[in-house]
């Protein structure tokens, strides 16, 4: 009995990882900050809507069967002539704007997150290579990075999409090509620092163990910067994709994104159908704003405190 009690006490007194997180300073500051909480709710809701939205929308705006031309040109529900069913109104083909937004946000968010993932992976790998290899290779890579940074990413994206043609893959490739640079710089800097330290310590050790050591040491140190950078990049990528789609250079028409909805709406803007482009754009703002707010909070939290 006593043995049992002892074990229980010992086991229960060791806090689980989750427990530790909820008691950490980070979580404390998170709870205290209204912007952090609100922005993370915003992001979470956007993700949930994207994942589960299609189950609750009144119609699937992209199956022609569901569309009824007599539903066209309906204003938002709170304006005269609107219907509760089509809360944000309909476009010139009878498509429910709200459903369109929900479907559109899936693609937009997908591209945003996946794009950042690939850009980050590429950038980290290139950064590691540059830092580890040193010499000519490093100089060349960093030179390319610097030059690329001196050109606005929007223009590069525009150009790439013009060349490659419209497809989801191409958009992802373009975003990766734009986004790798900042990750590479951070990782390369850290690799150099670690390399210096390791060189002195591990001068007796030759071969692959060096690479492994560097890998193991670089990644944890870089983690916070990468996380902060990624939050900013997601917002940025979503905006770039939206802009590309608006110009007709993004993903193909069959998988409309929020940007494309705006562009469709632009055509009817002057005839007074403001809601067709207003709400998709507003939702973009909602998503990106939430991401940026949260990114700001993360940046202040995760960076070494200067007090």
Per CB under 8 A, residues contacting other proteins are 147, 149-152, 154-155, 158-159, 162-163, 235, 239, 242-243, 246-249, 259, 262-263, 265-266, 269-270, 272, 274, 277-278, 281-282, 284-285, 288-289, 291-293, 296
| Closer CB to other proteins, 35 or 68, in the complex | 35
Task: Provide the b/e sequence for 84-120 (b: ≥16 CB within 10 Å).
Answer: eebbbbbbeebbbbbbbbbbbbbbbbbbbbbbbbbbb
Say how many CA atoms lie within 13 Å of 276 toward its Cβ.
Answer: 22
| Closer CB to other proteins, 49 or 249, in the complex | 249
* Smallest distance from other proteins to CB 307, Å: 8
* Smallest distance from other proteins to CB 28, Å: 11
Distance set, CA 31 to CA 27, 37, 230, 241 (Å): 6, 7, 22, 32
When computed from its CA atoms, the radius of gyration of the chain, rounded to whole angstroms, is 25
Whole-angstrom Cα distance, residue 217 to residue 198?
9
Tokens of 112: 């945003």
| Closer CB to other proteins, 112 or 131, in the complex | 112
* Smallest distance from other proteins to CB 164, Å: 9
* Smallest distance from other proteins to CB 127, Å: 21
| Closer CB to other proteins, 91 or 198, in the complex | 91
Cα 292 to its chain centre, rounded Å, is: 10
* Smallest distance from other proteins to CB 293, Å: 6
| Closer CB to other proteins, 49 or 293, in the complex | 293
* Smallest distance from other proteins to CB 45, Å: 16
| Closer CB to other proteins, 210 or 224, in the complex | 224
* Smallest distance from other proteins to CB 160, Å: 8
Whole-angstrom Cα distance, residue 63 to residue 128?
47
Closest alpha carbon to 100 in 144, 58, 38: 58
Closest alpha carbon to 183 in 136, 137, 149: 149
Whole-angstrom Cα distance, residue 170 to residue 167?
5
| Closer CB to other proteins, 22 or 274, in the complex | 274
């Amino acid at each position: 009995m006593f043995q049992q009690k002892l074990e229980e006490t010992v086991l229960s007194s060791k806090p689980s990882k989750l427990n530790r997180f909820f008691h950490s300073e980070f979580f404390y500051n998170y709870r205290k900050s209204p912007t952090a909480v609100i922005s993370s709710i915003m992001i979470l809701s956007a993700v949930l809507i994207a994942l589960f939205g299609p189950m609750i929308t009144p119609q699937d705006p992209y199956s022609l069967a569901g569309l009824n031309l007599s539903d066209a040109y309906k204003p938002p529900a709170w304006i005269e002539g609107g219907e509760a069913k089509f809360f944000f109104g309909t476009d010139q083909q009878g498509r429910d704007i709200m459903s369109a937004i929900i479907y559109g946000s899936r693609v937009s968010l997908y591209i945003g997150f996946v794009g950042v993932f690939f850009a980050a992976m590429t950038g980290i790998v290139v950064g590691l290579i540059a830092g580890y290899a040193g010499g000519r290779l490093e100089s060349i890579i960093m030179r390319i990075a610097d030059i690329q940074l001196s050109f606005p990413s929007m223009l590069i994206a525009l150009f790439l999409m013009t060349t490659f043609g419209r497809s989801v893959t191409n958009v992802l490739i373009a975003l990766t090509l734009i986004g790798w640079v900042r990750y590479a710089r951070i990782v390369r800097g850290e690799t150099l620092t670690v390399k210096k330290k390791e060189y002195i310590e591990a001068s007796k050790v030759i071969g692959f163990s060096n690479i492994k050591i560097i890998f193991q040491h670089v990644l944890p140190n870089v983690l916070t910067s990468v996380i902060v950078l990624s939050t900013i990049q997601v917002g940025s990528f979503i905006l770039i994709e939206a802009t590309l789609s608006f110009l007709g250079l993004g993903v193909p028409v069959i998988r409309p994104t929020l940007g494309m909805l705006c562009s469709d709406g632009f055509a009817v803007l002057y005839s007074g159908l403001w809601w067709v482009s207003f709400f998709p754009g507003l939702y973009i703002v909602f998503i990106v704003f939430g991401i940026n707010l949260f990114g700001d909070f993360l940046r202040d939290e995760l960076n070494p405190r200067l007090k």
